[in-house]
Amino acid sequence: MADEESKAERLDRELKELTDELRVALPGVQVLFAFLLTVPFTSRWDEVTDTQRDAYFASFLAATASSVCLIAPSVMHRIQWRRRDKERLLRAGNVLALVGAAFLALAITGVVFLITDVLFNEASAAVIAGGAAGVVVVLWYCVPLYWRMTDDGQDTDED
């Protein structure tokens, strides 16, 4: 076919798609991270329970790890600039994006738990955070994995 793209064109397109997807995820994790940075400096911080403190710290670490993973492909791209190594960059970037999303899911769930526990109680927090985690797992992982398992099994260059 005359309209088929070359390997170089495909790699360029896929790299652009990856960076576009990271641009969607990064603001969310940055806002969450910024929120978490301010929490210990609030006047009510001394009132948190040990469970709330643990949930906060776990969420803070997960948001940190998510930020690192989601920013890493851009840094790698800058270091590898003009090295003609886009295939490796795309493979690493894909893994880092998935790992970053997993850490973001943990951070979101932890923050939902923390805020719900502060507003209501630990039992409500566990139920609501579990529900939030369930929605994330279904939409981010189960649905696309189901699609992947039920298609014709052929990887294509298209999305």
Phi and psi torsions of 34, nearest 5°:
-60, -45
Q: Tell me the two tokens of residue 78.
A: 């800058």
Phi and psi torsions of 27, nearest 5°:
-60, -40
pLDDT at residue 155, rounded to an integer? 62
Residue-level length of the chain:
159
Looking at the predicted structure, is the pLDDT value of residue 3 above 80? no
- Give the contacts of 60 (CB within 8 A, at least 6 positions apart): 33, 36, 37, 107
∠28-34-35 over CA atoms, to 5°?
90
Q: Where are the domains of the chain?
A: 7-150
Q: Please, are residues 94 and 18 in contact by the beta-carbon 8 Å criterion?
A: yes
The tally of CA atoms less than 13 A away on the side-chain side of residue 34 is 6
Condensed to tens digits (0 to 9), the pLDDT of residues 22-41 reads: 999 999 999 999 999 999 99
**Mean pLDDT over the full length of the chain:** 92
Q: Tell me the two tokens of residue 103.
A: 């850490």
pTM above 0.95, yes or no: no
Q: Which of 4, 18, 159, 16 is nearest to 91 (CA)?
A: 18
pLDDT band at 1 (very low <50, low <70, confident <90, very high): very low
pLDDT at residue 85, rounded to an integer? 85
Looking at the predicted structure, is the pLDDT value of residue 137 above 90? yes
Condensed to tens digits (0 to 9), the pLDDT of residues 89-110 reads: 999 999 999 999 999 999 999 9
Cα separation, 106 vs 40, whole angstroms = 19
